[in-house]
């Protein structure tokens, strides 16, 4: 093995010894977050009036996925200091030393530019513009500005996660309409109780990292009260797609049942002094959005339920 010589001048002390694996780069894309983003974007695409060639629809979904992944990679690069402190994030590729920070940010920027460019060339400029705005909002407004400064970080920053259905809608129609804004508001209002449920049982973690999540700054009681308010406000918003004629009675009935269950989960969190109810609410919040958007697609898609039942 004497033919291999490594100069100490070219070795970065922070670089991983054996180099990053392909899997580490995939992990940078936050696949679990990406899956929900892709699903909501796909739902926007499916329920929008009009036709888009299946290949172009697939390209639009791919661009939303890559754009979301790029945002995640840049977020992991910027937050590598606090990620190393928090239990939940310390095993991520950068704090674990498996991916070099510069490689991660370069990877994210290249993917972001690629996704927006492809969306503009293959689909339309409005969808590309919305995708670019979403990535910029997540990186600059949420990650760099709000996250470490205000307990309202995920309320305002949550807008970034709410844009995908609008992007999907814009990909098909080339427009922003009241119905697509309703889909945006649905996710926007869902985000705070979803993240605060997580923050309630990770309060120590966030406090240690100096992230001013609401339970850290205002306490558990105030957080639980706000979660309840948001779930109540979400209830009528979830019915907006039905009220706007986007979906039929199946969706409306499901939205009522799921909405009541979500409020019930928030009430249980209010009365629970431990963290069990918060954990359950966090898990249910994901199921809630998944089921709601599944029904939106099923109720809207022609042939699946014989069209919308009104």
Partner 1 sequence: MMAQSLPTPAPDSTGERRRRLRMRNRAVLLVLLMLVALIYVIAIVRMGGG
Closer of 9 and 271 to partner 1 (Cβ): 9
Closer of 60 and 86 to partner 1 (Cβ): 60
Task: Please name the residue that has the structure tokens 């909405």.
Answer: 259
Q: Which residues, 6+ apart, have CB-to-CB distance to 226 below 8 Å?
A: 192, 196, 214
193: its two tokens: 């109780």
Least Å distance, CB 26 to partner 1, is: 9
Closer of 52 and 297 to partner 1 (Cβ): 52
User: In angstroms, rounded to a whole number, what is the distance separating the alpha carbons of residues 148 and 180?
Assistant: 30
Closer of 59 and 278 to partner 1 (Cβ): 59
Binding residues among 120-179 for partner 1 as defined by CB under 8 A: 121-122
Identify whether the C-beta of residue 187 lies closer than 8 Å to the C-beta of residue 165: yes
Identify whether the C-beta of residue 61 lies closer than 8 Å to the C-beta of residue 38: yes
Least Å distance, CB 53 to partner 1, is: 3
User: In angstroms, rounded to a whole number, what is the distance separating the alpha carbons of residues 36 and 286?
Assistant: 8
* CA dist list (Å): 200 to 33, 59, 128, 280: 19, 38, 36, 12
Least Å distance, CB 114 to partner 1, is: 8
* Residue 13 found at the interface with partner 1 (CB under 8 A): yes
> Of these, 19, 219, 245, 307, which contacts partner 1 (CB under 8 A)?
19
Binding residues among 31-60 for partner 1 as defined by CB under 8 A: 53, 55-56, 59
Closer of 18 and 178 to partner 1 (Cβ): 18
Helix (H, G, I), strand (E, B), or coil: what is residue 123?
coil
* Residue 8 found at the interface with partner 1 (CB under 8 A): yes
φ, ψ at 106 (rounded to 5°):
-65, -45
* Residue 289 found at the interface with partner 1 (CB under 8 A): no
Identify whether the C-beta of residue 292 lies closer than 8 Å to the C-beta of residue 238: yes
Binding-site residue total for partner 1 (CB under 8 A)? 21
User: In angstroms, rounded to a whole number, what is the distance separating the alpha carbons of residues 67 and 79?
Assistant: 18
Q: Of 21-29, 35-43, 204-212, 256-264, which part binds partner 1 (CB under 8 A)?
A: 21-29
Q: Which residues, 6+ apart, have CB-to-CB distance to 166 below 8 Å?
A: 44, 130, 176, 180, 181, 183, 184
φ, ψ at 254 (rounded to 5°):
-65, -40
Closer of 79 and 103 to partner 1 (Cβ): 103
Closer of 45 and 197 to partner 1 (Cβ): 45
Q: Of 13-21, 133-141, 186-194, 216-224, which part binds partner 1 (CB under 8 A)?
A: 13-21
Q: Of 10-18, 184-192, 197-205, 237-245, which part binds partner 1 (CB under 8 A)?
A: 10-18
Chain-centroid distance of CA 29 in Å reads: 12
Least Å distance, CB 86 to partner 1, is: 27
Please give the residue ranges that form the binding site for partner 1 (CB under 8 A): 1, 4, 6, 8-9, 11, 13, 17-22, 25, 53, 55-56, 59, 118, 121-122
């Amino acid at each position: 093995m004497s033919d291999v010589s490594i100069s100490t001048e070219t070795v970065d002390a922070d670089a991983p010894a054996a180099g990053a694996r392909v899997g580490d780069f995939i992990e940078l894309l936050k696949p679990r977050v990406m899956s929900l983003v892709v699903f909501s974007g796909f739902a926007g695409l499916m329920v929008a009036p009009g036709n888009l060639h299946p290949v172009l629809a697939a390209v639009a979904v791919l661009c939303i996925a890559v754009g979301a992944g790029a945002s995640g990679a840049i977020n992991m690069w910027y937050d590598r200091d606090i990620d190393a402190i928090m239990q939940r994030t310390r095993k991520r590729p950068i704090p674990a030393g498996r991916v070099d920070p510069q490689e991660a940010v370069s990877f994210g920027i290249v993917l972001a530019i690629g996704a927006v460019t492809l969306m503009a060339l293959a689909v339309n400029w409005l969808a590309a513009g919305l995708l670019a705005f979403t990535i910029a909002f997540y990186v600059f407004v949420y990650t760099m500005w709000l996250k470490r400064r205000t307990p309202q970080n995920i309320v305002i920053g949550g807008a970034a996660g709410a844009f995908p259905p609008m992007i999907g809608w814009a990909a098909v129609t080339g427009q922003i309409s009241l119905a697509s804004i309703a889909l945006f508001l649905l996710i926007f209002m869902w985000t705070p109780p979803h993240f605060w449920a997580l923050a309630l049982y990770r309060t120590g973690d966030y406090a240690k990292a100096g992230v001013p999540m609401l339970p850290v700054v205002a306490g558990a009681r105030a957080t639980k009260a706000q979660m309840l308010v948001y779930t109540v406000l979400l209830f009528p918003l979830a019915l907006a797609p039905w009220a706007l004629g986007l979906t039929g009675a199946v969706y409306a009935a499901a939205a009522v049942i799921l909405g009541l269950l979500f409020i019930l989960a928030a009430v249980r969190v209010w009365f629970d002094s431990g963290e069990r109810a918060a954990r359950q609410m966090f898990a249910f919040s994901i199921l809630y959005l998944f089921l709601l958007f599944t029904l939106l697609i099923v109720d809207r898609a022609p042939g699946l339920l014989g069209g919308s039942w009104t």
